[in-house]
Structure 1
Amino acid sequence: MADLGCGPGRVAGFLAGIGADVRGIDLSPRMIEVARRDHPGIAFEVASMAALPFRDGELAGALAWYSIIHVPQELQDGVFAEFARVLRPQGLLLLAFQVSDSGDEDVVHLRHAYGHEIDLRTRRQSPARMKRRLAEAGFALIAELVRAPIAPEKSRQGFLLAQRMADSGSEIAAAS
C-alpha cells in the first residue's frame, strides 16, 4: 500500500508497525528526508500525487491522510484519476480532510503553526464534492464519517473509504 502525501512518515510508520507493506511519497524533499530518518525500514520517495511512481494497478490500498488539503480544486480530478490508476480493482482508498462549513472549498492561510512561522495554504473540503470526484474517478463509497473537531482542531474532520471499481473484465485479469 502507499501513503500518498506522507509528510514525515508518521502514518506510514504506524502502518509498517502493524505489519503493512507500505511505501510513502511526498512532494517535499525535506519531508521525505525526515521520513527516511525516522522510519529507515520504509521506502519513501519524492513524488507528486498527480504523477505517482507506481505501475497501473500496483497497489492494493492507499491513503491520503490530510494530504488532499494541499491540492487546488482545479487539480483534484486529475489526482483522483491518478489514485484510481495505481489501485487495482477492488483496492481501497482512505481520504482524511478538514470539512468546509460553507459547503464549498475554504482556503485557510496559516502563518504560524507547529511552533514556527510558515506560509501554508490548506483547503477545507466539501464531503459531497469529494464523494462526487471519487465516483467520477471510478470509486464506490464504502463508508463516510464526519466528526466534530477535537481540540486543538478548528473544523470538522471528514473521512471517506472508497473501493476502486473495475472498468472491464480485462482490467481485473491484468491487475491479478
Structure 2
Amino acid sequence: MTDQTRIAYDTVAESYDELLRDELDANPWDRAMLDAFAGLVGTAGPVGDLGCGPGRLTGHLAALGLDVFGVDLSPGMIAVARRTHPDLRFEVGSLGALDLGDGSLAGALAWYSLIHTPPEQLPDVAAELARVLAPGGRLLTAFQVGDEHRHITHAYGHDVSVDAYRLRPDSVTKLLTDAGLVLEAQLVRQPRPPLERVPQAYLLARKPD
C-alpha cells in the first residue's frame, strides 16, 4: 500500500500542484478550519503538516505565523514543495512511522492524508499522531465522508493505481479518542462540485495536558 501510494503521488505531483495551488482561495470552510487551528496552536511550538503534498497548506500555515514544516510519503511531492516554498522545511516520511520525537509537536495537520491507509492500519496511524503531539497539542484532520473503498485508476490527468477510503466522522473520532486525544470540534459540509462528490469532514482534537 505504501509503495502504491508513493508511486501514484509521484506520478501526479506536478499536475496536482497546478490544479490545486489556488484552491484554498475559493474554499472558506477550509480556511476557517485552518485559521481556527492556527489560532489555537499559536506560538506554542512546531507544527507538522503530515501528508503535506506540494506544500500549499504548509505555506498557508506559515503565512498565519506558525513554525511549520512538511512531511510527505512522495519524493515527487516533496520536490515540488521545496521548489515552491524554498524557505520552509520538507522531508520524505510516513505517517505510520514519523521521524519525530515523542511530544515534539504543538500541532499536527493530517489533511486528507489518512484516506489511503487501510482501515485496519488506522489505529496505528492515530497512535503515531498522538505520540508526536505535546500535551495540549492540537490535531486537525480532514477527509471525505463515507464508508466506501475505491480503487482509483485515473487522477489529475494521469493513469495511476491507488486505493482510497472514505471515512465516517464517528469512526475517526473513536480512533482519535482511543489514541488518547479529546475531540474539540467537528464540521461536516456539503460537497463543492466539480472537485468533490461527497460531504467533507473536519475534526479538531487535543492531547490532554
* TM norm structure 1: 0.89
Kindly indicate whether residue 96 of structure 2 is the aligned counterpart of residue 53 of structure 1: no
Unmatched 5+ residue regions in structure 2? 1-46
Query: Aligned with 2:186: secondary structure?
Result: strand
* Residue of structure 1 in register with 2:178 after alignment: 136
Kindly indicate whether residue 51 of structure 2 is the aligned counterpart of residue 5 of structure 1: yes
AA at the equivalent of 1:35: A
AA at the equivalent of 1:144: Q
Unmatched 5+ residue regions in structure 1? 167-176
**How far is 1:112 from its partner?**
1.9
Cα deviation code 1:28-51 (max 9, x no counterpart):
111111111111111111111011
- Rounded to whole Å, the distance in 1 between the matches of 2:121 and 2:177 is 16
Cα deviation code 1:2-38 (max 9, x no counterpart):
0011111111011112221101111111111111111
Kindly indicate whether residue 194 of structure 2 is the aligned counterpart of residue 154 of structure 1: no
* Residue of structure 2 in register with 1:163 after alignment: 206
* Total equivalences in the alignment: 162
Instruction: Say which of 160, 173, 188 aligns to 1:118.
Output: 160
Identity %: 53
Kindly indicate whether residue 66 of structure 2 is the aligned counterpart of residue 14 of structure 1: no
The RMSD of aligned alpha carbons is 1.0
**How far is 1:120 from its partner?**
2.3
* TM norm structure 2: 0.75
- Rounded to whole Å, the distance in 1 between the matches of 2:112 and 2:89 is 20
- Rounded to whole Å, the distance in 2 between the matches of 1:26 and 1:46 is 5
- Rounded to whole Å, the distance in 1 between the matches of 2:198 and 2:133 is 30
Cα deviation code 1:55-83 (max 9, x no counterpart):
11110001100011011111110111111
* Residue of structure 1 in register with 2:115 after alignment: 69
**How far is 1:106 from its partner?**
1.1
Instruction: Say which of 126, 132, 137 aligns to 1:86.
Output: 132
- Rounded to whole Å, the distance in 1 between the matches of 2:150 and 2:200 is 15
- Normalized per residue, which structure has more helix? 2
- Normalized per residue, which structure has more strand? 1
- Rounded to whole Å, the distance in 1 between the matches of 2:134 and 2:84 is 29
